[in-house]
Every structure is written in C-alpha cells, then in structure tokens.
Structure 1
C-alpha cells in the first residue's frame, strides 16, 4: 500500500491493540492461514476496524461481504453477495473466464462450497475473506463457508468475521478453526474508555476536552464510536464557543438516552434528509434508491437520499449504475425506527409490501400485519409449503415461524404442527426443539403425536417417545392422512426401540410395520398437503429393513440376515434416497460386527456417494465416519484421515449429533498410528466434552484403541495395557473387541507370558475374533515369543504376514518376524529372509506414514546390512516423507500416483490453489524440482539381495 493511501485511512481510537493483533495474524497467515473473530455490540466500530484492516493488507485480495438481517432466513443470501463480489474482482483484473454460477436454494452445502472454492482459485496471492454482521449469516451460507474456510486454512488465507456477541454459526466456525490452528485471535471490542473519547474528540474538534466532559460524553453514548462521532459533530459549535478547550461543559440537552442522542444529531437537518434516514431505517433491506423514493412518494413524503448518505445516516453503494441504500448502522436504524409512531412504521411496511414482490413483500406484510389476520397466517403457511415442495427448507421454516408468531390461539395449533412437519421433512429438528413444550401442550392428534415422537426421540426422552409410538401404532387409521402418518411410525418406532436396546422388539414389530407400509396411500389421496410427503412407502420400507438388519445382528438372529439382505438389495437396486443411506449404514454395521469388512466397505462407499445428493439422511454423519474407520483398517490411511476430518467438520451440522464424538475418535486413529501424540490427545479431549447421552452406538472401543495404538507406536507397553483395561471396563455389545489385540501384545512386550497366554485363549474362543487389528496367528506368535518359543513364534509371524486384508497389522507381523530372525536363536541363516520381510514391512509403513514403525524396520535393516561383507556404506531405508505434515503426505501420495492437481483437490475437498500451495511446500521440503522426481517415491526401493525374490507389501 502506498503512503498516500495510508494517509487517507480514517483514524481509529481505542483499537490500536486490536488492529495490531489482526495484522500480526495476517502476517503469519501468509504461510499457514489464520482466523480472527471480532465481536462487540452494535456501534462499537467493528465495521470501521475491518475496513481499516482491509486497506492495510498490501498485496492481498480482500473479499468483503456484509450479511443482512432481512435476508438471514434466505438460503445462501450471504453466499450470493460473496459471489457478486468475486465476479466483480475477477472482471476488474481481467481474469474472469466465465460467469460464476450463483448457488441455487436446493444446492447442498458441499456443492456451494465447491463453487466458492473454484471461484477463489481464480484469485492470485493471499486472500482475506471479511464477513461483517456475521450474526445475520443465513445457516446454509454458514455451512458452505465452513466447508470453504476449513479447506483454505492451510494456504495464504485469512478468515475475519465481525459479529455481535451472541453465539451464531459463524462464531462456531471460528471456534472450530481455533481448535485446529495456533494462528487465530478473538477480539472482543469493548466500549471506548474516557481516554479514548478524549482522543476522538480532539481529532474531530481539533482541540482537547476535559476528562469530566469526556466522561459525560462516554456515558451519554455508551462508549459507541459511531454515536460519539455523531454527537460531537452536532455539538461542534458549542465547543468552538468555549473560552478554553478544557472548560467546555456538556449542555443539559445533550445528556440523553442513546436513541435521543441520534435524534439530537438530526436536529437542524433538512426534513427530507431525516425522512430519508427514517424510511431506510424501517425498510432495513438494501434497496435501489428509486424504489425507496417510490414508497415514500406513495405516502406523500419527500426524501433526500443523497443528503442522508452525505451526512452518514444512510449507506449508499452504486450497483450497476444505480444507487442502493441501506442503514449506515443497525443501531442507528433501530433508534430511528423506535422514534416513529407505530402507525407510521406500519404504513411504510404496508406500502413496501405493495411495491416489492416475492419474499421481501411477504416479509413487509408480516411487519405490517395485525396479529389477528388469519389470511396472512394462511398465506405464510401456504408459502412455507410451496417453498418446501421446491426444496427451499430454510425459507419454508422462516415462513412457518412467522405464521406461528402471528397466529391467534385458534390458528396457533396449525402453525406449530406445520412447522413441526417441516422440521421432520428436512431433518431440521434442532430449529424447533425450543417449541417442544408448546407442542406438548397441544391437544393430542395423530399429526401432533408424529411431530412430538421425533422431538422426544431427539431430546433423549425415549420412554415418552415409545409411549407415543405405541399409541400411534395401535390407533386405527381410517383416513388416507392417518394411514400416511402410521406409515411413518412403522419405521420411526424401531429407532426408539433400538435406542432402548430392545432389538428383539424391532424384530417383533417387523411384520406389523410391513403391513402398515403396504397400506400407505398415494400422495394425491392425502387431503392435507403438509402430509403428502409422508406417502412414500418405499422410503419407509427401506429404512425399516435397515433397522431390522441391524437389530437381527444384535439379537443374534442370523436366520433373518440373508432374506432381509436379499430384499433390501432388490429395493436398493432402483432406489436412491436419504433412506437408502440409512439402510446401507445400518447394514454396514452388521457386516463389520460379522467380520465381512469388504461388504461393509462396498455399502459405505455407495452410502457416501448418496450422501452428497441426500445430506439430510439420519445417518449422513455415520456414513462418513464408519467409512473412514473401514479405510483405516484396510490401510488407506490418507483417505481415512481426509474423510474423518470432513466428518468432524460437518458433524455438528447434522440433526443427529451422536456421530460427532465418534468422528473425532476415528480422526485420531491414523494420527495414533503415525505417532501424533498431540493431535490424538486434542481430538480425544474434544470428544470427551460431548454429552455421553448423545454418543452413538458404533464401536465404543475407538478412543481406547487410539490410545493403545499411540502407546504402541511410541513404545510404551504399560500405557498400551492400561488403554486396553479401560476399554474392557467400558465395552458394550457394539464392541469389535479390538482392545484384546492390544492387551495380548502389551502383556507379551512386558514379558508377562502367563497373562498373555490367558488373554490369547480368550481371543481364540470360537466365533469371537475379528482380525481388524491383528490376526490370531500374530497374537499366537506374540505369546510364543514371550514364552521363549522363538522358532514357533517366527512361524506364526510368517503366517500372519502373508495375509492380505489388513496391511498395517500384517506389516507389524512382518516386522516382528524380521526382528526375531535377526536376533536370538533363530538368527543364524535368517538374514536374507529377514531383510525381505523387513523391506516389505517398511514399504507398507512408508506408504501409511507410520514413521515410528518405519524407523524400527530401518534400524533392523541397518543391522543386517552392516553385518554383511561389502555392504554399501550408510545405506538406509528411511521415510522420504518424514518431514511432511499429514495433509502434505496426502498430496504427495496422490502426486506420486499420477493424479492432477484438480483431481487431488476433488479428492481432498480443498481448492486447486491449496493443492498448488502444498505442492510447492512438498518440493521445497524434499529438495526436489519437479513432480516427476516425486513420483519415484511411489516405487519401493531396496538394494538387490542374494536370491532376490518379490516381496509382498
């Protein structure tokens, strides 16, 4: 930035430390990303601070977007503003290669996030995204921004938001970033102090004022920089008349409440300027100046919008050659509106509803409405249903909420019920949990009970939910509407029974559920339009079969599994929906418990494809989480950690929060295998903060397995044994008993042969063992080694190393075999075989990034080679990627596999620019000049040995 530009910056008072903090984070963010959250009440200068920062970021591309309270319930309203800004930037620098597609309301957050990533990729240099008035960001935009910001956080990128202090989706996004990055700052703007007021007054007036005067000014304006500026400007003449700058006393007329201070600031202004400010304050929404003029003209009012802009009462921005106006500040608008009579405000809203159209017109009708207007309630509920049929969930919920607020006692029941049905339809129950007492108080009816059933289930009131579900199932269903509701209950009741652990009850209900689903009416037969979406028999049957499969496994009913699977497969062959995701996830759990990891993987792979299209599935979070666990088991660690981290980022956006701690556990597994003590501890701590009542039923061993694996990776058998003991104490029926593997291994490592043998015998019980973390042959080898039977142990290790389903435990078995072959009684004549086994293990460890295990293999190989005559000096098997971060390893492996940067970006859910950034870092760290050199790392290399033969890796 040039000196002249800096000189034009408006001075900030009382904000030096805040400015320095943000600029420091920005400086660090060039290399590693950063985030800043500025909070403070209205009028404390958040916008001014961010504007100051934006002008000081020399060499940065700054994207600024201000959320709008009037559009906070419009899906992707904030994103649309950002897209317009991106398009303007790209057009200005000539880099535009085509129009940026604005988001459609029916788009899911991942799709919109990818659109923004692609658009930001067209910008050069570091990028700063500033979100002002973040408390008004609509929820879909917040989800898309969460997706984008997390995937840009490790490049030259600074995310800065300004918000009022109350919790909101953007402040939650900042907390998420702060938990994973050291380069962040939260700045809470407090009111200006008396000293700050003195400095501001001296700047505006050109002379000093006394501390007492400053105290009275600060009190009158509540320390608001905005109001202080307005008030000082109005009182300039009285200051100039003072005999001494410090002798001025605040006139009694200036000691007034906040709103009155604004009113006083307007005194002396032309009436048309004041009227313009009042109209803009009431309309609140950014509007073209001619439209505001038309509304004013219909009310016989004269407005001077340019004059209001000049006085700083209205903010004006040109757009496509037309001046658009909006309030200069929310607090100013509130104060101005409050000074108008109710009749005047209602008149403005009423005319605005006539002049405007669509959503904005309806919103002004709501503001102007008499709460006893049943026609408007009907119109809002109709608009809600129409928006729902178009897939505009957030807009539909907003209309229904407004209808509820406007409804009289006679209409309130309908409004509450339809709002509840919308929440059921779109899995947005979290938006109506606060309404549960009101819905509980309504007269019982099938529709009310269906809404309440899901609210009770999600509120963990399982007994209450069961009572409702049984009553609904037992009540005769005569009309098509009642049959549609009963169809829904047919698959909702099993969820309640599973939450109670009554899996036999689910199976007892199965045939009754089938009958009720078979009696489902056609949508056109349902009289109530708000219920027609329930008339989807295939959707309910698919879910019912999924719940039944899961229950059959828990109830030890293998006779049911094959016919249910065949029936579900037939349905899924031509059925893609949220229910298909739920059924596939439910069945995959059964496959995992039964040891059929390949079929589980196939189901989860399909479920994850469907989740992209149907993110409102009950089990969307579990689809990502369990699949990440499967990928860990089958040795695809880079893919596993990527998907697990995505699950963590999105889990809290799910209606069902129960997968969030499980996603954190899964996210820690790969890091444990790689020896990442800090990152494992951080994730386990975060998961431990979750309410234990929300934790889902998937393998509860995972946090203990992560602890045990980390201890083994770091060579700490005592800690490994303790983690196994803790796992046993907390084990449930959903446990895969993987902790038994770590117990046997730890006991053997500690030389406790008898205890290891007893633990092994427990594992070897018929039908118990799942070889996810180690085969029985390897465990037998561990026990034999502890007992001193080295030759037998080597045979067991050899056998375990030749299996092919789980690369990591097989590499550990090969490592143990190679270790025994190079030491003790079995060492003689075993060097060649040991070298082959160790090189195979090293290749697997290198691919997985298991650096501590790789170091052990390398040390043993060094010992072998140093003992061979004429061995090459210093030849080692090292991890060539040891210096890279986890994300850089993912990119490096993808590059080595020949993937393009665009393919890598799609695979890792990041932008192409981020991939470019990582590629540069990777080549620099490895001392390479091209991608071609990096690809050679994909080929396991070793010195040819005598009688060389292929080594299985």
Structure 2
C-alpha cells in the first residue's frame, strides 16, 4: 500500500503573529543549541493550545529533535507526580528513568533537570505541557525548578500553557489577549467560508457574533457553528441568548468548582447583581455585602472572595466601592453553571434588597414580592429592583413588563433604559407591544453610542410594516453609517408614519432627513425636509432656524440672516446639545464664526455632562470645524482627533469621514502634503460610497491647499476648478465659496487666469465671491476678496489692493490668512524686483506662519525670503527630528493611521491595500521605531 504524500498545512492562527514570532525565536535558539522556557497564559478559548500545537508541529517538521508533550488531566490533580508520569510516557523511546517508577517513588527536581539535559544531549529537546495549572503540585514544582535552570547550552526548551502564571513565577510569561477586530473578522470569514455561507452573512448578524465573542476565537467558532444558514443570512431573527458558548463557559466555570460553596454563592450574587448595572460598571460592593448577609454567608466567604485573589483564581477584583469580575466570561460562566432555580432565587433576593421602602404602603412593614406597576412608586428609582424581578421571572409577565417600561425613563442613562426595555420586550406576550419595546430599546441603545447593538435589537423587531419607531432608528443609524440618500428617504418615511400619533419623533425624523440632505449636498432636498416641519411642532428657535435657512437658500438673504441671528441668540441660552449644534450651524451660515465656536463648546460640555453618547462625535466635529474657520488649526486638530476616536467607538463612519476632512484641512496648514493626503484619502474613501458631498468638498479643498503650500499651484487649480465652477461635480452648496480664494490664488500662480477678461472662470468666481461677501459677516471675507482682486489686478492697481486686504486683516485678526496675504504681496513685489520692499511682508509672513504653527507654509515663505536676498535657515521640524524619517512613505501613512486608532482593516480600506500588506508593514514599523504596541506607536508619534 502506497503511503499518502499529502501535506496538511497547519490551521492558520489569526491575530497571533506576534506570539508566533516569539515562539519561533525560542525554537530558533533551540536549533542552535540554546534552551529556554516560556509560559503561555490565557483564559479558556483564547488559543493557548493551538499555539502549543503549532510549536510542537514546527519542531517536528524540521526534524530538530524529540518532543515530550502532555496535557493535564483534572481527575489526576491530587495524584502526586501524575503530571510528570504522563509527560515521560510521551517519550519516543526508552528513558533512563522509568515513568512508572516516577509515579511510584517520585522524582526530585534535580533529577528531572538532569534527565531533561540527558534527553537533549544528542538532539535538541522540546517539552510542551498544556493546562499545567491542572497538574499535581509535585509535578508542577519540579518542572518549574528545572525550567528556571535551562538556558545557553542546555539544548532543552520548555513551553508551558496555563490559565494563570501564579504557579510559574520566575519564568518568562506571555499572556494572550483577545483577538483584535481585524483578526476576529478574518476568523469569522474563514469559519463561514468553510460552512459555505461566507457571502451570505448579514452585516448585523456578523456584528452581533463579533460582539458576543469579544475576541475569543473558540467562542466565536462555537457561536457561528450553532447558527443555521437562515440565521446567518438574517432571514430569521437570532436566538437570544446565542447558543454555542457552553463549551467555553464550562471551561471558565471549571476553574471555580474547587471553591467552597459559600464562595461560589457569593460569586453568583456578584454576577447576578450586575444585571441591572450598565455594561462594565461592576457590582455595588455595599449591595453585595447586604446580599451576602441576607443569604447567611459568613465573613470567611467575603474574605476569600474579595481579599484573597488566589482563593478565587482572580475571579473578583475590588476597585473602590465597586467589585468587578476579572473577565466578562467569568461572570457569564458563574451564571451559566448555576441552575435556573438557584439563579431565580438569587435575583429575587436582590430585587427585595433593591426595592425602596418608601415605595410600599404603610400597612406592609416588609417589601412585597413585587410592587404593582399601577402604583405611582414604580418610577426610575425602582428600575434596578424591577430588572432583578425580570431576571427572576420564570416566563412572560405583562404586568412586570409594563412596570419596567414605566420605570425606564429619565434621569436613567440611555444604556440602562435600553436594557430595561429589552427585558420588558422579552416578557411581553403581545407581538406588537414586544416589537415596539424592542424598537424603543434600539433607539436608546443608539443614543448610548452602541450602533451594533442597536441593529441587533432592531433585528428582533421583525418585518412588521406598522413599526414606525423601527423605521426612525434605522434611518438615524443609516445617517451615521450608510448612504446619505438612503438615510434621507428612510427618515422621510419614518416622519410620515410617526406624524399622526407621535409628533415629537416625527420632528426628529424630519430634522434627520434635513441633515442627510445637507451631507449629500442636495439643497432642494434640504429645503423640502425643512418645509415639512410644522410650526406647531417646533420651538421658536427651531422655527427661526427653519425659516431663516429656507430664506437664505431661496435668495432672500437679508431676511434669512436676520432670522438666523435671532436663532443664534435664542439657542445660546439652551442646554440641549442638539439645539446648540443647530445654533452653531446658523452662526456659520451668517458668518458668525465666534458664535459658532461658543455654540460648539457649549454643546460639547452638555454632551459630556448628560449625554447622549451618540452626539459626542457630532459635537466635536462641529466645534472642530468652527475652530478651523476661526483659524485655530491646532485646536481644530485636537477636537477632530478626539471626535474621530469617538466616531469609531460609537460606530459612526460617516462622521469619521467628515472629521478626516477637517483633519486634512488642519494638516494642509500644519503638516504638509503627506498627513493631509492620508486624511483626505480617508475622507474621500468614506464620502464616495455614501454620497457625502460636504466631506468630499472639504477633503479636495484640503489637498489643493497642501499643493499650494508645496508650490504645486497647477495641481491645486485642477483640484478646485470642478468644485468652484458650475457643473455636475460642483462642490457642496454651503462650502464651495470658502474654497474660492484658494482657487483664485492657484489659478493665477499657475497662469490659468485670464486677468479678469470676459468669460474667464476665475473672474466669474471672484464676482460670485464678492456677492457672497456682502451677505456674510465672516470677518475674513472682505480681506480675502481684496486679495483675490489684487491677484487679478493690473500691476498699477495690485499694490493698492494688497494694502486694502492687509487693512481688512488688521481689523479681522487671524494669523494664517493675514500671513497668506503678506506672502502673496511679498512675492508680487519680489517678482517686480522690488526686493527690499518685499522682505518686510515676507518676513512678517514667515513669523506669522511660525506663530500659528503653519509648518507647511513656512518653507514657502522662507524660500521667497531667500529669493529676496535675505539669509534664512530652513524651518526645523516641530519638536525635533521627525520619528517617522526612518520609514518609507507607505510605512509613514500606515503608522499615522494606526496611531489615530484605526484597525488594520480600516487602514487597508483607506489606503486601498490588503490587510496582509498592512500587517507586514506594521511589523516593520514596530521594528524600525523600537515599539511593541499600538499604544507605544501613538505615544511616539504624539511626541
């Protein structure tokens, strides 16, 4: 019989390139005759066994030498030397010391060290032990003793897999964390591809699986394996809770089975008490203490669970007055291992302890089993008790569901209200009521900043055509993560459905539709959405905003600006962040840049104080843009970077595109072409598929401004020409006029202007800009108009125009625009050989660029000044040498993206390369800069 020649490649390990490199280094040293040891620690399911198997397979494939390998058997934990017996039994040949003798008589640590060195004397030996924390104490102690003494020349390497490193002190340890987003997504692709459903996985289902697995590869595989093709494709709703986690949860629970009964009960109380808390908040320590006393637990159980980490294998940790589980899966495992009856009893006890005494009638000295939902006392204060009652319920309970819904109101946070409404939906027997509560839970989840979870809750609503609230939430989610046209139509539909019975939410839908139309640059659609807002459903400031914006866009500029100024005054006293943001938009439309900055700052403060979290990226975006218009580029960049992180955290890629555009504009002043191109490419990559005309216009303007700073006036004019001139590629209606001064400058310097003659598009743009200047109170507009006219003027008139522009700048302030005019004036003087006169404005321009941090423009100003005959040093990079100078241009782009918080997949999409390419370059970046993590990389770039 002919033996098979098929070579089976090992299963790919996703997201473990760093760990594999460390193991390969250890094996490389072993091949050259040097030994060592490494402890791989991880919670169950993180791939510790797969890494050990890979190391063993690599050692055997290279025929380096023998292998001893074993996995702990929990049943033999109390049998001395059983672990070493299993390890020695795996030897490929006879040993100097019989394994049976070791089990019978034992072995000293010194004898084990000598034995291992003898086995590795002829050929390098690899020792692999998995689940070593489950070995008997004697075997573990001997192995640790021997491993500590293996080093150069020993020809023995020991790799140990364990749940924690407490028993292996003194040995090099590597702790496995969860997979990052890219690796988890790639693993899910591999799993679904193997099941033949890779192209059919619904995005919402995909997001829920990744969220539930939380980077645990074994858990992800288990969850995906239990779903049918209809589940994966989103044709039927996902079961809840998702099946498939039992294996991982049992492994976690098994680590706690050896604890005393009282301690396990305390862990169950701690796990159950988190059900009414926001995610990640932990457990109230005082409540846990009261519950323990009520359950009859003694002080020893409390000491063991809270004060002695080794006693609970690190299950609980105290942080001030809160108690947290070491990992969310540990908490889930505790609940999973308890019987349903025991869980309900614990939840019932907690509900009794949480019920306010004042909520009870005077005739009852003790808390009732369940407060009636008809009592006025069932307000937000009772919400934690009601959530615990819901957890204790054995089945549907409409009365309890009604009480939960009644209590899920302000001042409770949106996340708490969402969780309560989702539980109320699960307890509801009526299908329509259940769907309405799931839709309301999705809305509060979206406001809490969890877009993925909101979509998962919407999936439970089903396809009920009469579900108006679900239409609204879907539209608002699409507004932040979807084509703007889709969001616009969805929100108009939601408004029509909600108007007869819910005018307030119908108003929210219409305002969202108007925002979508603004983002996609459709002025007519924006007007249509605004005119649908009835005066009866709006406050006076909103009516002023509606009428003012409509008047401006219809050409009644004076009337509209008067209304918008009153709107700015009215909203300046508001506390609602959405109202303040509208006031900021109105201020920008009339040119009140300082008013826009004030509104943006107040909106940001309001969001940080009281939420909702979903508005944080928008508040930072509006403030960053207003600061940009005011010429404060460093502030704009700081706010935009924070907003970018918030947009990614809350699942709002459309807002991220706008923020990238703002960052590109800031970089076109501060950092030059490379950083500007990175952000502009990211903005355009998101703006194109989703039809975000405003982000695309700003990004193109930023690229043109960076070209101007670098002296590439022809390229700048080519970028701006389609945005400024009429045609299908015309820029956004609210921002195209802002780019006209750059367009005029680029066209004149590139020789593309016809110096004001008839039919010249540059002269036409200046004429339109002049009309716009009369309608705005933007303090920079008159100076910019005079500068444009100076660029187009005859030589006899140009100097007067430049002087006029500089006089306007003196009144308006703003270093950057002032310096640009000085630069152009000085260059004009130099070209007319008036070099001595040119040095003054050029020197002032250089100083101003340095003062406002416009490093991208310093080089241009210093070059002009040198050409005028003055010795000037080349501008130095801010903060010393550039840490990225050692990298290639592609590596620099990737490093900047990663430092801003982008995942490898996001970087790949942004730069149009594969994820594998990003991973390859990122490893080289880490090596070149001497960093080991994304956090360190961000710190290096920040310096």
Equivalent residue number for residue 602 of structure 1: 595
- Change in Cα spacing, 1:42 to 1:756, as seen in structure 2 (3 Å) is farther
- Structural mapping, 1:2-401, within 5 Å: 42-43=43-44, 191-193=51-53, 198=69, 227-230=131-134, 293-294=292-293, 297=296, 312-313=311-312, 315=314, 338-355=336-353, 362-385=386-409, 389-401=410-422
**Which digits, 9 at most, give the CA deviation of each residue in 1:277-335, with x for residues without a partner?**
7777777876688656546549xx9996777869754547797999x987676666655
2:762 to 760, 763, 776: 760
Equivalent residue number for residue 456 of structure 2: 434
Offset, 1:810: 3.9
SS of 2:767's equivalent? coil
Offset, 1:730: 5.5
SS of 1:370's equivalent? coil
Q: Given the alignment of the two structures, is residue 572 of structure 1 paired with residue 571 of structure 2, yes or no?
A: yes
- Structural mapping, 1:913-932, within 5 Å: none
- Change in Cα spacing, 1:499 to 1:335, as seen in structure 2 (3 Å) is closer
- Structural mapping, 1:530-609, within 5 Å: 538=539, 541-558=540-557, 560-562=559-561, 564-565=563-564, 567-568=566-567, 571-572=570-571, 574-591=573-590, 597=591, 599-609=592-602
Q: Which moves more between the two structures, 724-733 or 600-609?
A: 724-733
Asked if the contact 2:700/2:720 (under 8 Å) is kept, the reply is yes
- Change in Cα spacing, 1:302 to 1:238, as seen in structure 2 (3 Å) is farther
Cα-Cα RMSD: 5.6
Offset, 1:683: 1.7
SS of 2:656's equivalent? helix
SS of 2:415's equivalent? helix
SS of 1:416's equivalent? helix
Equivalent residue number for residue 427 of structure 2: 406
Asked if the contact 1:503/1:551 (under 8 Å) is kept, the reply is no
SS of 1:372's equivalent? coil
Please list every run of 5 or more consecutive structure 2 residues that lacks an aligned counterpart in the other structure.
1-17, 26-39, 57-67, 92-126, 144-155, 157-245, 275-281, 356-381, 774-779, 884-938
| Alpha-carbon distance between aligned partners in 1 of 2:865 and 2:506, rounded to the nearest angstrom | 67
Offset, 1:390: 1.4
TM value normalised by structure 2? 0.55
Equivalent residue number for residue 736 of structure 1: 736
Asked if the contact 1:747/1:753 (under 8 Å) is kept, the reply is yes
Asked if the contact 1:276/1:304 (under 8 Å) is kept, the reply is yes
- Change in Cα spacing, 1:233 to 1:602, as seen in structure 2 (3 Å) is same
2:657 to 650, 658, 661: 661
2:824 to 812, 816, 820: 816
Asked if the contact 2:70/2:86 (under 8 Å) is kept, the reply is no
Equivalent residue number for residue 438 of structure 2: 416
Q: Which moves more between the two structures, 347-356 or 197-206?
A: 197-206
Equivalent residue number for residue 368 of structure 2: none
Equivalent residue number for residue 699 of structure 2: 703
- Change in Cα spacing, 1:499 to 1:683, as seen in structure 2 (3 Å) is closer
Aligned length: 643
Equivalent residue number for residue 840 of structure 1: 844
| Alpha-carbon distance between aligned partners in 2 of 1:569 and 1:653, rounded to the nearest angstrom | 31
Please list every run of 5 or more consecutive structure 1 residues that lacks an aligned counterpart in the other structure.
1-13, 22-38, 45-163, 166-187, 216-222, 240-245, 247-255, 476-480, 518-536, 592-596, 867-873, 888-920, 926-953
| Alpha-carbon distance between aligned partners in 2 of 1:425 and 1:267, rounded to the nearest angstrom | 40
- Change in Cα spacing, 1:19 to 1:546, as seen in structure 2 (3 Å) is farther
Q: Given the alignment of the two structures, is residue 775 of structure 1 paired with residue 784 of structure 2, yes or no?
A: yes
**Which digits, 9 at most, give the CA deviation of each residue in 1:221-253, with x for residues without a partner?**
xx99995413556998999xxxxxx9xxxxxxx
| Alpha-carbon distance between aligned partners in 2 of 1:469 and 1:198, rounded to the nearest angstrom | 66
- Change in Cα spacing, 1:838 to 1:703, as seen in structure 2 (3 Å) is same
SS of 2:808's equivalent? coil
**Which digits, 9 at most, give the CA deviation of each residue in 1:867-914, with x for residues without a partner?**
xxxxxxx7x587688555999xxxxxxxxxxxxxxxxxxxxxxxxxxx
| Alpha-carbon distance between aligned partners in 2 of 1:413 and 1:505, rounded to the nearest angstrom | 31
| Alpha-carbon distance between aligned partners in 1 of 2:796 and 2:738, rounded to the nearest angstrom | 27
TM value normalised by structure 1? 0.55
| Alpha-carbon distance between aligned partners in 2 of 1:282 and 1:627, rounded to the nearest angstrom | 42
- Change in Cα spacing, 1:355 to 1:20, as seen in structure 2 (3 Å) is farther
**Which digits, 9 at most, give the CA deviation of each residue in 1:647-688, with x for residues without a partner?**
333344568654322221122223222353332222223323
| Alpha-carbon distance between aligned partners in 1 of 2:550 and 2:349, rounded to the nearest angstrom | 60
Offset, 1:370: 1.7
- Change in Cα spacing, 1:790 to 1:206, as seen in structure 2 (3 Å) is farther
Q: Given the alignment of the two structures, is residue 677 of structure 1 paired with residue 701 of structure 2, yes or no?
A: no
- Structural mapping, 1:895-906, within 5 Å: none
* Higher relative contact order (Cα pairs below 8 Å, separated by 6+ residues): 1
1:721 to 709, 717, 722: 717
- Change in Cα spacing, 1:581 to 1:651, as seen in structure 2 (3 Å) is farther
**Which digits, 9 at most, give the CA deviation of each residue in 1:755-811, with x for residues without a partner?**
996343222334556676983554455456xxxx65555554444444314643443
